[in-house]
Amino acid sequence: MRVLVTGGAGFIGSHLVERLLERGDEVFVVDNLSTGTLDNLAAVRDHPSLHLNVDTILNHPMMHETVGKVDLVIHLAAAVGVRKIIEAPVETITTNVRGTEIILDCCAAHGTPLFVASTSEIYGKAGDRLHEEHDRVMGPSTHRRWAYACTKVLDEFLALAYHHERGLPVIIGRFFNTVGPRQAGQWGMVVPRFVERALADKPIEVYGTGTQRRCFCHVEDTVRAVEGLVACDTAWGEVFNIGHESEISIRGLAERVRELAGSRSEIVTVPYEVAYGEGFEDMERRQPDTSKIRGFIGWEPRYDLDDIIRSTIDFMRA
Ligand SMILES: NC(=O)c1ccc[n+]([C@@H]2O[C@H](COP(=O)([O-])OP(=O)(O)OC[C@H]3O[C@@H](n4cnc5c(N)ncnc54)[C@H](O)[C@@H]3O)[C@@H](O)[C@H]2O)c1
């Protein structure tokens, strides 16, 4: 197949690109390197079947031409990360809404099937065992954090509208926290941030009380889910949660990272207002119900939390 991966120089994108090349696909990448980096693609940079274009998905004529060359689009490019969303809300909203609109327009013009990456953030403050039809609970528009969730919800609505009105084959994957080698901590991602501090024996900063609970999925499991879904005839037009169901508190995560890294770091708590400024809101739990994807393609995560932490430690040490 010929596949376009937008955001292919990013964390999840680079793992997906490697997997597609490994199975013999011709892969096109469009990435503006805003949070991605060419280092992520170092292992495949010279692969004859990789076509890398450092450009923005907001370049409509270029996207139209590129989508015309492929059989499938996997759309991962987005402004990602809580810190990024708070610091650059205009860029976030523009990239995530206008960018996806351009890609949907190009896919509809060429009749090209599309996988759209969404996020567990769209559930907002709705708690545990979140199934795909669960109600969403959003905070106010004055809290910038919710902008990311709202842009992704709009992406979902628009993608489903293209499916219903124009017959465009789309799949929406809602990623819950995905972690592993190459994830950068600078935009607020918790596991690489904790590992970085633990390896330096510096204080590990837990934002809020640390009792908030999260689930973590290894990037290789996420990539396998995407690969399985786009190969499944009945998955088109559907929305899927993609994540690990086991939960851990953020303080528990900090302790596990410290232990596995053999670190002497102290664990300290930092109030949300200090970490992110006034008006930041977080949710106590965010746990997926993944029975739908299991039913469609038999997908189960293969890696547990210790595997995830160890692979991040190994990557950061290297
Ligand atoms: N990692 C997670 O835990 C997680 C959770 C939920 C959803 N997601 C979604 O998965 C996708 C990939 O996220 P990631 O974790 O790999 O983050 P990432 O930041 O590593 O990847 C995003 C990529 O998109 C690129 N990009 C941003 N704006 C662009 C633009 N205008 N034009 C071209 N490229 C652009 C960035 O340079 C980067 O390479 C995103 O859509 C994100 O919303 C990720």
**For the residues of 101-145, what is the DSSP string, one character each?**
HHHHHHHHHHT--EEEEEEGGGGBT--SSB-TTPPPB---TTSTH
Residue 188, in any domain of the structure: no
Q: Which residue out of 54, 80, 189 has the highest number of ligand 1 atoms within 8 Å of its CB and is therefore the one to mutate?
A: 80
Residue 184 lies in a domain: no
278 CA distance to ligand 1 centroid (A)? 26
pLDDT for res 37: 96
Q: Indicate which CATH number applies to the domain containing 93.
A: 3.40.50.720
Q: Tell me if 232 is assigned to some domain.
A: yes
- For residue 228, being part of any structural domain is answered with yes
The token pair at 109 is 């013009």
Greatest alpha-carbon span in the chain? 58
Pairing of strands 72-75, 114-119: parallel
- Residue 138 structure tokens: 């959003």
- pLDDT at residue 187, rounded to an integer: 66
30 ligand 1 Cβ < 6 A: yes
Report the C-alpha gap between 126 and 274 in whole angstroms. Answer: 25
Cα 53 to ligand 1 centre (Å)? 16
Residue pLDDT, tens place only, 151-210: 999 999 999 999 999 999 999 999 999 999 999 776 668 999 999 999 999 999 999 999
- List residues with catalytic annotation: 148
Report pLDDT for 277. Answer: 75
The pLDDT value given to residue 188: 65
Structure tokens at 161: 């509208």
pLDDT in tens, 277-307: 776 777 888 999 999 999 999 999 999 999 9
The structure tokens listed for 173 are: 């994957």
Residue 143 lies in a domain: yes
Distance from the CA of 290 to the center of ligand 1, in angstroms?
A: 22
Mutational test site, ligand 1, from 12, 67, 120, max ligand atoms within 8 Å of CB: 12
Whether 209 is covered by a domain: the verdict is no
The total domain count for the chain is 1
Res 304: pLDDT: 96
Cβ–ligand 1 distance for 36 under 6 Å, the answer yes
In a domain, 266, yes or no: no
224 part of a folded domain: yes
pLDDT value for 284: 84
- Check if 56 has its Cβ closer than 6 Å to any atom of ligand 1: yes
Domain that holds residue 162: 2-179+217-245+288-302
Q: Please work out whether the CB of residue 173 comes within 6 Å of at least one atom of ligand 1.
A: no
Low-confidence ranges of the chain (pLDDT < 50): none
